[in-house]
Chain A
Amino acid sequence: MAPLPVSLEPDPVIEAYKKDVDRTLLRENLKLSPEARLRKLQDFVAFTAVLRDAGRRSRT
């Protein structure tokens, strides 16, 4: 299956969303290695799991 040609021309909807992107977060991530970016994501995902469990416990 060959790749479909997809335009990368500016899309007005995407351009509108782009104004709200927090580029400071991107610049910080770009200072990290790919492996460090993945470990940072892992830490965040683990943190959300802790919060989710705490929320679940508080409802029971």
Chain B
Amino acid sequence: MTGPTDFAALLQRLLDVEVEFILVGGLAANVHGSARATFDVDVVYRRTGDNLDRLVRALAPVQPYLRGAPPGLPFVLDAGTLRRGLNFTLTTAIGDIDLLGEVVGGGDYDALLPQSASIEMFGRSCQCVSLPTLIRLKRAAGRPKDLEAIAELEALREEREHD
């Protein structure tokens, strides 16, 4: 991938084949109103057999490959690969995407689902983690680089409460 991530195209691919996923990370923050830039799509995906098949169907046509890995590795994104792993940082022909089986502080898809909301985008419904849970996830990750992002998300929550 050489160009910028096409967020809409990546999300639409997942929505087209009804992948069960929850938007998290920087893109979820932007959906809630964050003004910080992000350059990839982070999703927590459901690890059922059917959903792994849908995920492969969505992404296989855009040549997913391990982000940052040297070229030429025998990496194939199929249901077996997904089953044997958990979290994948991928690059594709239309941008970068992180497929997360679990997230620190949030657990897996089923644990996170009640902490998410359906958001209308591109004429479709997309599950997006709630703002309080996004703050909780960022805090749980405990990364110094997230401190400014957490501060912004908390300010965002205050602004929404004042509305």
Segment of B58-66, B77-85, B105-113 engaged in the interface with chain A: B105-113
Residue of B nearest to A24 (CB): B35
A8 pairs with B132, CB closer than 8 A: yes
Q: A-contacting residues of B (Cβ < 8 Å)?
A: 3-8, 27, 30-35, 37-39, 102, 104-108, 111-112, 115, 119-122, 128, 132, 135-136, 139-140, 147-148, 150-152, 154-156, 159-160, 163
CB-CB under 8 A from B33, the residues of chain A are 26, 29-30, 32, 37
Contact of A48 with B35 in the complex, beta carbons under 8 Å: no
A to B CB contacts below 8 Å, 14 in the list = A3-B115, A11-B139, A11-B150, A17-B148, A18-B151, A18-B154, A30-B156, A34-B119, A37-B31, A38-B30, A41-B37, A41-B38, A44-B37, A45-B5
CA distance A6 to B31 in the complex (A): 23
For A4, list chain B residues within 8 Å (CB).
104-105, 107, 140
A9 nearest in chain B by CB position: B139
The CA of A41 and the CA of B35, in the complex, are separated in Å by 8
What is the count of residue pairs linking A and B with beta-carbon distances less than 8 angstroms? 107
Cross-chain contact A26 with B8 (CB below 8 angstroms): no
| Interface pair B154/A14, CB less than 8 Å apart | yes
Cβ–Cβ contact A2 & B107, under 8 A: yes
Once bound together, how far apart are the Cα atoms of A22 and B155, in whole Å? 9
Chain A residues within 8 Å of B, Cβ to Cβ: 1-4, 6-8, 11, 13-15, 17-18, 20-23, 25-27, 29-30, 32-35, 37-39, 41-42, 44-46, 48-49
A26-B156 in contact (CB<8A): yes
Assess whether A49 is in contact with B4, with CB atoms less than 8 Å apart: yes
Q: How far is the CB of A31 from chain B (nearest CB, A)?
A: 9
Contact assessment for B136 and A8 in the assembled complex, using a CB-CB cutoff below 8 Å: yes
The CA of A55 and the CA of B34, in the complex, are separated in Å by: 27
Is A3 a contact partner of B112 (Cβ separation < 8 A)? yes
In the complex, the chain A residue whose C-beta lies closest to that of B163 is A30
How long is the Cα–Cα vector from A44 to B39 in the complex, in angstroms? 10
Known: A17-B151, A45-B39. A29 touches B111 (CB 8 A): no
Query: Within the assembled complex, what's the spacing in Å between the Cα atoms of A4 and B142?
Result: 13
